[in-house]
């Protein structure tokens, strides 16, 4: 409920980009990750994948997110080797194993992910047993007091004569993936308390406490331009996007937040910013771009649900609740 499956991640990442998020760029040479990309594509195509191949995929994902080999082996230990997995089950296992394998440098992210998994299991079991109205009751009884501005509207969606289940699930999943991104981002800066408000404000494009997540990628791009050696817009566009008329038009749409690119295109932008290959600065830029993209894409997707009166409420709740914990 709180954590998206790989199909939802694919929608958030953009066409052909979910593999980049989970595994990085596909490397088709000895020692590369082409085999893992093929396994992921099989899952996305609806195929059932063997235990052995799933373990291979997970190990590569964990390594991409900074897990040590020892932590990865410990996370995968005890997996039932006789079971093949479809996309849904593989997604559930992925989040669970990721929570086990994140290193101590990500202990706050790891704990937050564990809490999301536990809450997801509770809500999913409730929905399976009692349906949409039962889930609405659970949200009101156990979560309303924490954040009525978030959980009450979701309960109301589920209580309608024709329950708006997809819209409710989209809001819950948005909270999960965006809060994961926010905690991960904050922990990238060693959780220095005086830095976190600025990090969260940039991530959610907040002004006077109000978030504007649709603009998160656009403001990230603006910051990158201002920090570059070509801080004038047309010069930056020429360097990063080229001089082709259609590319220039697309760049202006990115800056205006009328178009949010897929992650594959975002990595192309990062490639043009003169970072040293495999440098810490480049890795931070890639993750920073990924997280603002998830924020903006999720905000855009929520606008596809007419029943959702405030598509930004999940982002606002994450922003407010994290600031309140400082």
Which tens digits make up the pLDDT trace of 265-313? 898 898 888 777 767 788 788 888 889 999 999 999 999 999 999 999 9
The domain boundary, picked from 39, 72, 100, lies at 100
> Which pTM was predicted?
0.85
Is 34 among the domain residues? yes
Segment 229-243 shows an average pLDDT of: 92
Pair 94, 54: CB distance under 8 Å:
no
The SS3 call for residue 162 is coil
State the residue for tokens 């771009």. 289
Query: How far is the C-alpha of 73 from the C-alpha of 101, rounded, in Å?
Result: 8
What is the Cα 53 distance to its own chain's centre?
24
Give the residues across from 94 on adjacent strands: none
| Residue 249 maps to a domain | yes
The contacts of residue 240 (CB under 8 Å, 6+ apart) are: 251, 269, 272, 273
Instruction: Mark which of 55, 83, 100 sits at the end of a domain.
Output: 100
- Residue 9 sits in which domain range? 1-100
Q: How far apart are CA 323 and CA 313, in angstroms?
A: 15
**Under the phi-then-psi rule, with left for phi > 0, alpha for psi from -120 to 50, and beta for the rest, what region is 253?**
alpha
Answer yes or no: is pLDDT of 191 > 60. no
Domain annotation covers residue 66: yes
Q: Is residue 5 part of a domain?
A: yes
Among 85, 100, 115, residue at a domain's last position: 100
Predicted confidence band of residue 167 (pLDDT cuts 50, 70, 90) = very high
Domain count, the chain: 2
Whether 8 is in a domain gets the answer: yes
């Amino acid at each position: 409920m709180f954590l998206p499956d790989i199909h939802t991640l694919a929608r958030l990442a953009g066409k052909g980009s979910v593999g980049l998020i989970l595994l990085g760029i596909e490397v088709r040479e000895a020692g590369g990750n082409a085999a893992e990309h093929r396994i992921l594509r099989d899952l996305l195509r609806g195929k059932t994948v063997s235990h052995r191949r799933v373990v291979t995929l997970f190990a590569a994902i964990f390594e991409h997110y900074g897990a040590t080999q020892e932590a990865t082996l410990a996370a995968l230990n005890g997996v039932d080797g006789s079971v093949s997995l479809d996309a849904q089950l593989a997604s559930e296992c992925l989040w669970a194993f990721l929570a086990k394998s994140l290193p101590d440098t990500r202990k706050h992210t790891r704990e937050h992910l564990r809490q999301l998994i536990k809450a997801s299991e509770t809500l999913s079991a409730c929905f399976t047993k009692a349906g949409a109205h039962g889930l609405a009751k659970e949200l009101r009884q156990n979560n309303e007091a924490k954040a009525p501005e978030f959980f009450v509207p979701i309960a109301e969606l589920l209580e309608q004569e024709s329950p708006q289940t997809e819209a409710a699930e989209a809001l819950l999943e948005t909270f999960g993936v965006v809060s994961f991104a926010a905690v991960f981002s904050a922990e990238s800066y060693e959780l220095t308390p005086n830095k976190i408000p600025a990090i969260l404000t940039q991530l959610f494009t907040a002004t006077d406490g109000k978030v504007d997540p649709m603009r998160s990628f656009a403001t990230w791009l603006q910051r990158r331009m201002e920090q570059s050696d070509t801080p004038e817009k047309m010069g930056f566009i020429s360097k990063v996007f080229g001089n082709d008329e259609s590319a220039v038009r697309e760049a202006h749409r990115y800056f205006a937040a009328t178009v949010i690119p897929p992650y594959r295109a975002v990595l192309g932008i990062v490639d043009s910013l003169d970072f040293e290959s495999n440098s810490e600065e480049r890795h931070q830029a890639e993750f920073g771009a990924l997280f603002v993209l998830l924020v903006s894409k999720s905000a855009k997707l929520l606008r596809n649900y007419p029943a959702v009166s405030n598509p930004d409420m999940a982002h606002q709740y994450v922003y407010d609740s994290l600031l309140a914990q400082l």
